[in-house]
Amino acid sequence: MSNDPVPPTPARRGLLIILSSPSGAGKTTLARRLMAWDPGLRFSVSATTRPPRAGEVEGREYFFRDRAAFMAMVAAGQMLEHAEVFGELYGSPALPVEEATLAGRDVLFDVDWQGGQQIRNSMLGKHTLSIFILPPSIPELERRLRARGQDSDAVIAARMRKSRDEISHWPEYDYVLVNDDLDRTEKKLKTIVSAERMRISQQPGLVEVVRHLNREFEARQ
């Protein structure tokens, strides 16, 4: 048995980690904490036609594009997925995702339910992990949107109206977290990601480990 030719060990393909929630539930905050925890994780920076908020930096939070430039990227097949949310276009550029996952790095997406569906059904969507974040209550969701202090009353009202529709898609996700206490939710999120990385499908090197153990058994005989 120890003379068997060693099968080629397939390299690990990175996971596509999808985070969705109604606006204000806390996914941007949680995504930042996950990125700080694991510097190997790559954040998928989306393109959007929405104007930048105070403090947002081109290429860090988003690539800010006008409609024509955005649609040109779509027409050129450069988007892994794209959708209209709150009257603006949002999309995930495909190339950085392809490069990162080929190199074995996991990629984190902050996208709405439409993006989640399209990513799962895409060419790169074989290994996805999707997590939906719920707010503890609707008044608390509104409080958080206001506390963020970034949006006008009209924008907040539009986001609140849309949140029911977004929430209705929770059963499409692998995991659901209620983001009541931020630190506790962060811990749960990290637990989910850690466990997912230990799946057999995520550890192609296991073939070699077990082969080695078998060689050691044989050496004892």
Ligand X SMILES: Nc1nc2c(ncn2[C@@H]2O[C@H](COP(=O)(O)OP(=O)(O)O)[C@@H](O)[C@H]2O)c(=O)[nH]1
Ligand Y SMILES: Nc1ncnc2c1ncn2[C@@H]1O[C@H](COP(=O)(O)OP(=O)(O)O)[C@@H](O)[C@H]1O
Cα of 87 vs its chain's centroid, Å: 22
The footprint of ligand X on residues 160-219 (CB under 6 A) is none
The minimum distance between CB 136 and ligand Y, in angstroms, equals 8
Confirm whether residue 24 is marked as ligand binding: yes
Residue 26 interacts, among ligand X, ligand Y, none and using kind-specific CB cut-offs from 5 to 8 Å, with ligand Y
Confirm whether residue 77 is marked as ligand binding: no
Residue 144 interacts, among ligand X, ligand Y, none and using kind-specific CB cut-offs from 5 to 8 Å, with ligand Y
What number of chain residues touch ligand X (CB under 6 A)?
16
Q: Pick the closer one to ligand Y by CB: 48 or 179.
A: 179
The contact set with ligand X (CB under 6 A) reads: 23-24, 28, 46, 50, 81, 83, 85, 90-92, 110-112, 114-115
User: Binding site membership for ATP: which residues?
Assistant: 21-28
